[in-house]
Amino acid sequence: MANTKVGLVRRVKTDARWKYYPAAYAANGRVKPGVAIVAGIEVKHKIGHYELRYYEGSKLRFESLSGISPAGSENMRKKKEAQLSVAKEAKKADVQIVPPDPKRKKLTDQLDMFVADALGRGAEEAAEVNKRACDEFLAITGKEYADEITDEVFKQYHREMTKRGRSKRTVHNRDSNVKSFLRYCGFDTKGLSKPPKYDRTMPEIYSDDDLASLFRSITDPKQNLLYRLLLGTGIREQESMYLEWDDIDTQSKTLRVHSKPKWDFRVKDFEERALPLSDDLLARLLAFKAKHPAGKGPIFDRSGQPDGHMLRTLKRLAREAGLGCGVCGGCKADRSECERWFLHKFRATYCTKLLRSGLDLRTVQQMMGHSDLTSTMRYLRPAENEQTQARINTINWG
């Protein structure tokens, strides 16, 4: 009958050769880190790793636990022993048991790594957004492994999100957060169901009333200025994070958007641009600068570092100011973060306002830092354009 005992051995280098010695245990059953029993004596071998030693039939097998802690290795040993003994019993009962694939990775473990990687890059907000989306996905679908994810799982996920009152835009965003995580796990997401369509050709913009109430209610001078700047220059969230006083040229009344090697922030050629500042915005910037002596960090810093929490702050301020719409999925959820307030919407509003002012497409494209005209054209909303309405009225229709 098969032997189901599994030993924990330490693979160590002695006299320039790799050898196996039994791991040493303390009286309480814990593995003594790095200690091996050599000729009956406990010897500490810092360099080396643990392996499992067991029989498969009559064949002696070793399984490397390289990179796993002493306690983790002991857990692996107990698990292996349990598996072998279950397999033995199953064989007796003529039942076939399929052992788990050691290469099969748990999604929750992978998610921890995914989030840790993002935090390691300083992308706190992205880490948080992705974690929230993936946690929700795992809770809704109840799946544990990437290979359980099918098209049907995604269809169920989209249905449930819609049922929970999420807007189409949110479903889209969460869906792409989850899919980027799955790609990180090495999963091909190409064949998976896409979320319900929403019209990307119509960017959401703030109404003049929205903006008036925002600027009226946000009393924090730095945040108030940030939102005015996002609206008045259309710069991206990333670009605003690294903005410094040197980027503002008071002579030419422009704001220069360019790469910041010291922050490891890069813009592409067509994204580099000088943006005209309105007299009002320039005056506000200079007034703020006069009251807040410049430190070494960016203008809109968070303790001297680029602020990675701009979106969260906007959502919080909008909530505190009672600016939530009250009907979206975000407003109804516990966190009550209104979906109608987000940073990119300032940029969309800027672009729309430029186009409605009569500026030509090419100029607006350049000001937006768009690589192609199609991106800029998405902001043309002829049906809602008052000027178009006025023109229609001047036409003699017979």
The pair of structure tokens assigned to 109 is: 């473990």
**Stretches 11-19, 136-144, 200-208, 329-337: which one binds Zn ion (CB under 5 A)?**
329-337
What is the closest distance, in whole angstroms, from the C-beta atom of residue 330 to Zn ion in the complex?
A: 5
**Residue 206 binding Zn ion, by CB under 5 A:** no
Minimum distance of Zn ion from residue 157's CB (angstroms):
22
Which region among 69-77, 105-113, 205-213, 319-327 touches Zn ion (by CB under 5 A)?
319-327
Window contacting Zn ion (CB under 5 A); options: 92-100, 244-252, 318-326, 371-379: 318-326
Indicate whether 331 belongs to the interface with Zn ion (CB under 5 A): yes
What one-letter code names the amino acid at 133?
A: A
Cβ proximity to Zn ion: between 217 and 238 the closer is 217
One DSSP character per residue, 124-189 reads: HHHHHHHHHHHHHHHHHH---BGGG--HHHHHHHHHHHHHTT--HHHHHHHHHHHHHHHHHTT---
Rounded Cα–Cα distance for residues 154 and 141 (Å): 8
Q: Looking at beta carbons only, is 138 or 331 nearer to Zn ion?
A: 331
Tell me whether residue 65 or residue 338 sits nearer to Zn ion (CB atom): 338
Provide the residue type at 289 as one letter. Answer: K
- Distance separating alpha carbons of residues 298 and 341, to the nearest angstrom: 24
Closest approach, Cβ 206 to Zn ion, in A, equals 13
Kindly tell me which of 141 and 349 has the beta carbon lying closer to Zn ion. Answer: 349
Residue 205 CB neighbours (<10 A)? 19
Phi-psi group of 84: left, alpha or beta (phi > 0 → left; psi -120 to 50 → alpha; rest → beta) = alpha
Residue number, 154 or 341, with CB nearest to Zn ion: 341
Binding status of residue 324 toward Zn ion by CB under 5 A: yes
Indicate the residue among 180 and 336 with the shorter CB distance to Zn ion: 336
Question: Of 178, 202, 171, 192, nearest to 130 (Cα)?
Answer: 178
In which element (H, E) is residue 138 found? helix 124-141
Q: Where are the alpha helices (DSSP H) in 38-106?
A: 70-92
Q: Does 338 bind Zn ion (CB under 5 A)?
A: yes
- Within residues 247-306, the interface with Zn ion by CB under 5 A covers none
CA gap 180, 163 in Å, rounded = 23
One character per residue 103-142, x = contact with Zn ion (rule: CB under 5 A): ----------------------------------------
Beta bridge partners of 51: 9, 64
Q: Is 71 a residue that touches Zn ion (CB under 5 A)? A: no
DSSP secondary structure string, 304-321? TEE-TTHHHHHHHHHHHT
| 53 versus 345: smaller Cβ distance to Zn ion | 345
Query: Is 243 a residue that touches Zn ion (CB under 5 A)?
Result: no
Which of 310/338 has CB closer to Zn ion?
338
Examine residue 325 and tell whether it contacts Zn ion (CB under 5 A): yes
| Amino acid code (one letter) for 111 | L
Residues lying near Zn ion in the complex (CB under 5 A) are found at: 324-325, 328, 331, 338
